[in-house]
Amino acid sequence: MSRAGLDLRGQRDALLAGSVSSEELVLEHLLRIERHAALNAFVHVDRDLALRAAREADAARARGAQAALLGLPLAHKDVFVTHDMPSTAGSRMLAGYRSPFDATVVARLRAAGAVCVGKTNMDEFAMGSANENSAFGAVRNPWDAQAIAGGSSGGSAAAVAARLVPAATGTDTGGSIRQPAAMCGITGIKPTYGLCSRFGMIAYASSLDQAGVMARSAWDCALVLGAMAGFDERDSTSAQHAPQDYTAALDAPREGADASRPLAGLRIGLPREWFAHGLADEVAQAVREALAQLQRLGAELVDIDLPRSELSVAAYYILAPAEASSNLSRFDGVRYGHRAEQYRDLAELYANSRAEGFGPEVKRRILIGTYVLSHGYYDAYYLQAQKIRRLIAEDFLRAFADCDVIAGPVAPTVAWDLGAKPDPLANYLADVHTLPASLAGLPAMSVPAGFGRGEHAARPVGLQLVAPHFAEARLLHAAHQLQRVTDWHQRAPAN
């Protein structure tokens, strides 16, 4: 087997055993990235920088260094700023921009020894569900090149699924880690809001954006999350939560459980609203089969209600655009970013620079956000959406009184064909199952659960797991136990 075909844990073990050097491992991944350029998963790759970092990792290991990710290749979503590579957020507005510093997530993974091979493609400013809104073109799904990879972290998802890197960072505002992870057949986790620093992450919606991990397995995600999480005084929304070794608890038995039933005592809530009309039969079947497997592992399935789930789409697409209209006002063509060549005065400089720099979806959300924040509409729209957000969070609190983890589909369908949903509203509705957890700030993840049926037999399905705040270890444990008895996460696209 190609060493690039190994998961992160396998590659780490190979490095520790001395059967491969970091330089050899990174070079193998760089060659795969070149061979699979048609996926459009990367917007920037720096071969020389990556190989130099790999050689430094090999030298550090020879000196006895033992950092958690020492010498392991990974990629960063292009929403994280990096001082040694361009940071564009998938937008023409930031074409060629180089930050004078690293995002905290980037710095922490670098300190843990990870070797960054490049920056991955994404929906412009993380606005999208299909990764078709990037200024660099759409990302293609490694399982079916005619299908979307999911958004907005589609480049990271495609890169991991195609074995271009064993792990990658992503961000999740309304489902942008979980949805592409599900559609590309990999594992992805969005931690509790505030667990990972947002410092140096180009903002879309500040009260929702959260950094996370995309990898092959729950074990791989646990390793990377442990290295990147933790309090950051430079981020005013960072939570005072002690660092944790998430891999340590993956195989720890629950109290009263045994080896054959490691999930005994775990109550998994099934929201009635998530299995109602609108869910494709092939997705429902795959999710039900995964739930049955969890049940065989000892978990108890209980029905619960999240009655305001259907309001999450309306609430999110008021709140997120409102925050985006504020965050993106800094891109005016004066201080940094794209500047129009033709203008007669300052007002026209602003207008022309923003019109040329932003893509259609970003413009649409800025307009919506500006409208709902305007005088006369703030109370009618923005304030009401905030109230609904609070009610959705309270629904989760009540539900967790009856269960330990909530499970359901990630998306109502498998990945659709590129260009098949030109209507923005159709794309927004694809987030219906991921938005509630985002609005409540809860940790949630996508776990491979099978594939579609018929013409969609090559398109993956994901199982979503949601836990109370800061219960990432509980999520990862359940996902890891499921992956010990299934092989969906081990399957790879052809070539």
CATH number of the domain residue 49 falls in = 3.90.1300.10
Asked, for residue 99, whether it belongs to a domain, the answer is: yes
What pLDDT does 336 receive? 81
Helix pair 218-228, 8-17: axis angle to 10 deg: 80
What pLDDT does 431 receive? 95
What pLDDT does 261 receive? 93
Catalytically active residues are 77, 152, 176
Domain count, the chain: 1
What pLDDT does 218 receive? 98
**Closest of 14, 18, 119, 108 to residue 67, by C-alpha:** 108
What pLDDT does 213 receive? 98
What pLDDT does 495 receive? 80
Domain span at residue 146? 3-228
What pLDDT does 260 receive? 87
Relative to beta strand 267-271, strand 300-304 is: parallel
What pLDDT does 242 receive? 85
d(CA 465, CA 240): 24
Asked, for residue 71, whether it belongs to a domain, the answer is: yes
Residue 424: left if φ>0, alpha if ψ -120 to 50, beta else—which one? alpha
Structure tokens at 485: 């008895």
Asked, for residue 291, whether it belongs to a domain, the answer is: no
The b-or-e profile of 196-232 (16+ CB within 10 A means b, else e) is bbbbbbbbbbbbbbbbbbbbbbbbbbbbbbbbbbbeb
* Distances from the Cα of 355 to the Cα of 329, 341, 369, angstroms: 12, 12, 16
Structure tokens at 480: 């890891």
Asked, for residue 80, whether it belongs to a domain, the answer is: yes
In a structure prediction context, what are the per-residue pLDDT tens digits for the chain, which is 495 residues long?
A: 578 899 999 999 999 999 999 999 999 999 999 999 999 999 999 999 999 999 999 999 999 999 999 999 999 999 999 999 999 999 999 998 999 999 999 999 999 999 999 999 999 999 999 999 999 999 999 999 999 999 999 999 999 999 999 999 999 999 999 999 999 999 999 999 999 999 999 999 999 999 999 999 999 999 999 999 999 999 999 999 988 999 998 988 787 788 889 999 999 999 999 998 899 999 999 999 999 999 999 999 999 999 999 999 999 999 999 999 999 999 999 988 899 999 999 999 999 999 999 999 999 999 999 999 999 899 999 999 999 999 999 999 999 999 999 999 999 999 999 999 999 999 999 999 999 999 999 999 999 999 999 999 999 999 999 999 999 999 999 999 999 999 999 999 988
What pLDDT does 70 receive? 98
What pLDDT does 387 receive? 98
Say if residue 111 is exposed, middle or buried (CB neighbours under 10 Å; 0-12, 13-18, 19+): middle
Phi, psi of 377, deg, nearest 5 = -120, -15
Diameter of the chain measured on Cα atoms: 74
Query: Which residues contact residue 16 at a Cβ distance below 8 angstroms, ignoring those fewer than 6 apart?
Result: none
